[in-house]
Amino acid sequence: MNGLGATHYRWEDMPKEALKPDLHRRLVSTERMMLAHVYLDKGCIVPKHSHENEQLTYILEGVLRFWLGEDEAEVVDVAAGEVLHIPSELPHKAEALETTLDVDIFCPPRQDWLDGSDAYLRRT
């Protein structure tokens, strides 16, 4: 947007994608990073999955409960103002204990989110 190649985004101007009735998102993606607003209704389940992308999840509103590891043995509740780092390839699933707005940061960007091949998120 200026001569230096910087780009300015406004969340309200970004399309809000409905993945299923209780899960929506907005994305900003660059060559090497992705930033997402993820909107989860209370009770929304994100099924267990893993990905090559390193992830930071920052909760702005609400609470997400995460089950970490192949056996889901580690359970972590992440509340507003808290951040969870999820290393590459760590299996995880989540449930919204309250209506939640989270910011997910991925490096590199999630190609499955960009091309719509993230079927695990779209199951009702």
> Is pLDDT above 70 for 68?
yes
Residue 3 has a pLDDT of 60
Q: Is residue 102 part of a domain?
A: yes
How far apart are alpha carbons 122 and 107 in whole angstroms?
22
Containing domain of residue 111, as a range? 32-122
Q: pLDDT class for 4, splitting at 50, 70, 90?
A: confident
- Tell me if 22 is assigned to some domain: no
Residue 82, domain member (yes or no): yes
Whether 16 is in a domain gets the answer: no
Domain membership of residue 11 (yes or no) is no
Residue 113 lies in a domain: yes
Residue 14 has pLDDT above 80, yes or no: yes
**Structural domain tally of the chain?**
1
Give the contacts of 90 (CB within 8 A, at least 6 positions apart). 50, 68, 69
Backbone torsion region of residue 43, taken as left when φ is above 0, otherwise alpha when ψ lies between -120 and 50, otherwise beta: left
Element (H, E) at 111: helix 111-115
User: What single letter denotes the amino acid at residue 48?
Assistant: K
Is pLDDT above 80 for 6? yes
> Does residue 30 come out as left (phi exceeding 0), alpha (psi in the -120 to 50 range) or beta?
beta
Q: Which residue has the tokens 């209780």?
A: 22
CATH number at residue 65: 2.60.120.10
pTM for the model stands at 0.93
Q: What is the pLDDT of residues 69-114, one digit of tens each?
A: 999 999 999 999 999 999 999 999 999 999 999 999 999 999 999 9
Confidence of residue 2 (pLDDT cuts 50, 70, 90): low
- Domain assignment of residue 43, yes or no: yes
